Structure 1
Amino acid sequence: MNKTILLTITLLLFGCEQGAQSPRGFSLPEGDMEKGYLVFQKYQCQDCHRIAGEKESEDTQYLVAKAIPLGGSSGRIKTYAELVTSIINPSHKLTPRQPASFTSEDGVSLMRVVNDELTVSELIDLVAYLQPKYKVTPYRTSDYRLYQLRVPNTQPDE
């Protein structure tokens, strides 16, 4: 009986990832970072985005009030799939730290959708350029040590 329950739970857990909407198996070929930089320029991404850690010239002007940062340090990895999704579906997951001026009244990203212009090769190269810009900052643990519980002596005295 216990084996049947365990098998059922295992199948349910792994079965959830097998649906048609699952990202499992998604993979694109390796891109070229240098070509990705050229794609970034070609589609004028720099008009609204700035790359964290890269110097800007004093005369840099953006089409938005505050440049939207790409890259930088985070406590979690920015995955390949997240970058691809952010480019081809900018409204999928909006960063809560960004001002509301980056979205329309109904919450849709104002980022220009380039899906009809951007080739798959350009997308692959653009992600290859952007992904290394994200750095994972290790989670800093607390300096406090865990307290050890003292278990009272439950054995009778002799």
Structure 2
Amino acid sequence: MKYTLIILCLIALAGCDRGVDSPRGFSLPEGNAEKGKAVFIKYECLACHTLAGVEDDSIKKHDDISIRLGGNKTKIVTYAELVTSVINPSHRFSRPYRADARTPDGASKMTVFNDTMTVSELTDLVTFLQPNYKLIPYHRTKYSDYK
């Protein structure tokens, strides 16, 4: 009986692996936040994004879109989520930006930098952005009991 339980647990754990599409084993090298700020400016991210404490008047702003990065969140913004947002901007949209951040065919308006940005620049950029997100507690609204 003891070995049956162990075997069932091992089978269950093996089922968690998604085969060749599994992210298991994927890791990027550490980035440099100072270099990441330079990447943020280099690729003119401020044309469509705002980030507290970062300004560059030489970058022309897009009038139709302004997406705030960083700030207080009730959910942790992970390193992996930030990497995905840069390399696959159409993957998911934040609620306040769902309509104005999309093209008519539903894709993200964000430029895809996959053929121009190096992996080092990507890791530096994400290392620069991540500390700008602050986790705050989520306070539930207290409702009275229905009777």
TM-score by length of 1: 0.76
Residue number in structure 2 paired with 1:12 = 12
Question: Deviation per CA, 1:44-80, whole angstroms, max 9, x where unpaired?
Answer: 00100001x4376899862143410111111111111
- Which structure 2 segments of 5+ residues have no match? none
Distance 1:2 1:105, change over 3 A: farther
Alpha-carbon distance between aligned partners in 2 of 1:83 and 1:75, rounded to the nearest angstrom: 16
State the structure with more CA Rg.
1
What are the within-5 Å matches in structure 2 for residues 129-144 of structure 1?
129-140=128-139
Q: Per-residue deviation at 1:111?
A: 0.4
Question: Deviation per CA, 1:100-143, whole angstroms, max 9, x where unpaired?
Answer: 23211221001001111000110010001001111111233678
Identity in percent: 48
User: Is residue 100 of structure 2 the alignment partner of residue 101 of structure 1?
Assistant: yes
Q: Give the CA RMSD over aligned residues.
A: 2.9
Q: Per-residue deviation at 1:42?
A: 0.5
User: Is residue 123 of structure 2 the alignment partner of residue 124 of structure 1?
Assistant: yes
TM-score by length of 2: 0.81
Q: Per-residue deviation at 1:2?
A: 8.4
Distance 1:36 1:59, change over 3 A: closer
Alpha-carbon distance between aligned partners in 2 of 1:119 and 1:57, rounded to the nearest angstrom: 22
Q: Per-residue deviation at 1:32?
A: 0.6
Residue number in structure 1 paired with 2:87 = 88
Aligned residues: 143
Alpha-carbon distance between aligned partners in 2 of 1:57 and 1:119, rounded to the nearest angstrom: 22
- Which structure 1 segments of 5+ residues have no match? 145-158
66-75 or 21-30, which moves further after superposition?
21-30
Residue number in structure 2 paired with 1:74 = 73
